[in-house]
Structure 1
Amino acid sequence: MATLQTIVLIVLISTSFGNIVKQIEGVNEAISNTVIDKIMLELYNQRQLFNERIRELEQTISSQQRTIDRHEEHNIGINKRMEDLQKQIEHCNFQKLKETTPRKAENNTPLDESIKRNLAKDDAPNNKPENTITVKSTQGLQIPNTEHFASKRIVESNVAFSAYLDHNVDHMAAGHHIVLNQVQLNDGNGYNHFTGIFTAPESGVYLFSFSIYSHFRLAIVSLSVDGVNHTDIITYPYNDHGSMSSNTIIIRVNSGQSVWLQNIVSNDGEIWNNAFQKYATFSGVLLYQ
């Protein structure tokens, strides 16, 4: 009987111990899963923070790049203004030098003695060329008779410009000023490549020439003097075939008047151009005063 009781007790103890072991294993598994979940949640939160930080850095870099681009454009504009100012200074210095340089004919500067001897022909009327007069002086010089030139007009100042467009212009509304931003020549500094306007530094008769190219849409461009239209050109692309047009005009422009190109159609006008294909151009030159 004692042996049976002992056996039963051992069985009960074994069963209880097995249950306890299973409970301990269940607790360990639950603890392990909880710890893993906490670690995974922490890793996920850290990843979210890293992604947010990366987005902030990307936005900062993009903003700084835009600022750099604006500064570069501003520097380009400053350099172009400095070039224009340098040309104006050189032109002013040239005009001042021309005004202050004495002329030999006005100052009666003596000629070289050998030239005097070769030119001294007071008593040789048959050797006078046509349209010349003899100056009765000790030199006996013969100079052209300029009386028949009195009606001819001359140009005292050099005024000429030429510019082109280095990019496309799209969606132009009526009245849109066309700014040809690349200058190839600007004698007299009358053309402003920031506004596309030529301001006449001298009164006189000017020759103006301009051209444009369109690839998809109609464009009608006029040459205006102080807002008054003087002549036009039109491009009419058809079936994906581009169209190019140009015009030339000679008109009188007074000093201080402004000349520019503008789109005069009411719908979307376009001009195709780039730095290598200089289709859109605007040029002018002072012919005479």
Structure 2
Amino acid sequence: MARRREADWTQRQAERREEDADKQFARQLRRNLGSPARTLFIGLIALLLCVDVYYRMNPVAPHIDIPEADLNPIGKQVAWSTVEQWLGDGQLGGEARVVSWDGGDAATVGDGQDAETAIVHTFAVSTDLGWWRVEQTVRADGLTPLGSPAVEPIPMDEAATPDSTPAWDGELGTLQATETLDRLADQWARALMGDDDDALTVLMNDDPRATYTALHLGDVDSTSVERLAYLDKGRVNRNKGTSDRAAMRVSVSLKPVAQDAQGARFTYDLLVADPDGTPRVLAWGAPGTGDTLAEHANRSGMRED
């Protein structure tokens, strides 16, 4: 009986020592962790370190937002029609065509006492006398042109020649010509120079309501891509010097309209989207303007729903 009591006492002592060891471990754990605030702070530090490691291993590609221009501002159609009628009178020579609408800016007109707000619309015009920048002012009602167009020549300096470098201020890197880009340039040239407005509209793949007007100049004899470059706009990969926007200089020769005559020749800058994938033309204008062209700026109008 005494032995049993001794064994029970020994077991209780062992259990007490085990309980004391657990309490000591719990106390030591609390001392190591500190207060709940300290525990939360340590957890946040660990989380931030994990996020930093993740983004270092998975860098985000740089992206430059492309400003969206108002492509159908007040008075655009009236200004365009006024300029075309004015050109039809031979004011800038023969074969005059509006090539692109380059934007509209608000201006204050009047004698200072009866001033009013108007919109000055700018167009790029190609004629047999060269390229011109033509501005036509329209009243804020969008219906009344003010005066006749103002013009100035667009200089074709070294920056606008096919072999010069650099060709555009916004050049990011050289782009190699491909069969796909050559074919796109040829399709665009034939649609622009031809007589089918719908063909050009379909090619541009713009808003379903948008319309484009062909130049009705004749049949294309040949098209050549003179220069290509990635532009510092759109989705840019600076490590590779590439982007999803490119400038393309294209020369277009037309078939002669008479025997022994020489066909007309034109040169344009094109703004191209997705040059390394499925490229498409976004806009076109005079040589040297490739990096400044606004997307879909060549719309001639918008159909009403």
Q: TM-score, normalization: structure 2?
A: 0.23
Q: Answer 1 or 2: which has greater helix percent.
A: 1
Q: TM-score, normalization: structure 1?
A: 0.24
**Pair member with larger Rg:** 1
